[in-house]
Amino acid sequence: MITGADALGLPGRANPLFLEGPQLPIPTPIAKELNLRDGQVVQATLRMDGGQPELILKGRIIQMPTGLIGKLAPTIWVKIVQTPQGGWLLQPTTAQAGQTTAAQAVNPLSPSTGAASAQAAVMQQPMPASYSRMANLLFRPPGPSDVSQLYRPGTLDALLKILARPDLQAQWRGLQLSMAQLTPEAISKALASTLGAEVWLARGLPAPTNDPKLLLRKLIQALQSPDKSANPLRLVQSDESDDLVQALSSGPRDSDTPAATFAQLQHAFEEMESAQVQAVQAQAQREVLFRMTLPFVDAEPVELVFRREPRNSDQLPLLTVNVHSRSETYGPVWLKTQLEGSQHIDLTMWAEKADVASTARQRSSELGLQLQQAGLTMRSFQIVHGARPQAPADFPPTGCGLVVDMSA
């Protein structure tokens, strides 16, 4: 469960909390996913993200209406309420006996508290803040990819055109691949860049110049630049909402594609950091987990997940590669590839368009021959007309082997 002092103080802003009484609706699928029960009292953390209040409940981020915010405190307790109609509500309440946390022991800040007092409050509780951030990334719930939304053709291009940053435009062009000229070497290079600068620096090697997380960090810094003349999208006040960025970015453009918003950049950056933290945790559990999204200049982005679970000594290693793509021509397509040992492959494909599934069946023998030429044996190829059924999370972190260097 996430507790947090990381939401205690953002300079120049008062961090809000629900007043006792108002109820926040929560979608039924989320309530079921979190296994909530009527009458249950759980702890949550409140934070601001791009001017939008967010409630973190059991690792799940829930958007909040600004009209329900009140007094200050980063950590709150909510009572789960099920309505007679079957809906779910969150009722702010007080902590039960013996449930006071370190974050709640800090005196609440008044609305008039300045930036210095807020920063001092954060410094008083460094341990909860660091752990809360790590836990938020490690237990980030699965959901639609924010990176994929950001990588859609034209989204970042529109923002970069408004920012007038040729250096960032060149870095973005270096990240984009071409679907018409896709090669294994290009995918390998993209994978190396997505590993993150931290991996290469730890190995004593220079970091790749085309690091997608570094690009997003620079874009976020550009939007927060205090230089008005250098940044037409600057957030004038820290409490302005994401709508302001969208409004400022609505200048004349060659494309109808809307520019990326500040919240999109922040959420995509967190998604990348979460993937890195989960990869390290998987390694500690003797597993392999790697997520990446490939951006294309001439196609929609493609999501990849590499997964290898631990197996018994008498079993061959099993590597699973999940690929998710979507386009106007082929629609959403999911491909699950399982490589057992070094040469045996089992494939499963889901396609929502009937003609795509039919074409795949007709040409499956060609794929088998191509794999055979590469030294691989295709044992099976199942093709399903329809969407891929929702499956459990690819990686449930156990916390086993998790060590956090608090001095880093």
The distance from CA 216 to its chain's CA centroid, rounded to whole angstroms, is: 13
pLDDT value of residue 257? 59
> What residues does each domain of the chain span?
16-126, 146-267, 311-385
As a whole-number percent, the residues of the chain with pLDDT over 70 amount to 68
Question: Which of the pair, 98 or 41, is modelled with greater confidence?
Answer: 41
Token duo for residue 404: 């956090």
| pTM for the structure as a whole | 0.61
* Average predicted confidence (pLDDT) for the chain: 74
Q: What is the CA radius of gyration of the chain?
A: 23
Q: How many residues belong to the chain?
A: 408
Question: Which of the pair, 125 or 25, is modelled with greater confidence?
Answer: 25
Question: Which of the pair, 65 or 285, is modelled with greater confidence?
Answer: 285
Backbone angles phi and psi of 207, in degrees to 5: -75, 145
Summarize the confidence of residues 354-373 as an average pLDDT.
94
Question: Which of the pair, 383 or 162, is modelled with greater confidence?
Answer: 383
Question: Which of the pair, 320 or 38, is modelled with greater confidence?
Answer: 320
| 378, HSE (Cβ side, Cα atoms, 13 Å) | 18
The answer on pLDDT for 227 being more than 60 is no
As a whole-number percent, the residues of the chain with pLDDT over 90 amount to 31
pLDDT value of residue 76? 73
Question: Which of the pair, 247 or 373, is modelled with greater confidence?
Answer: 373
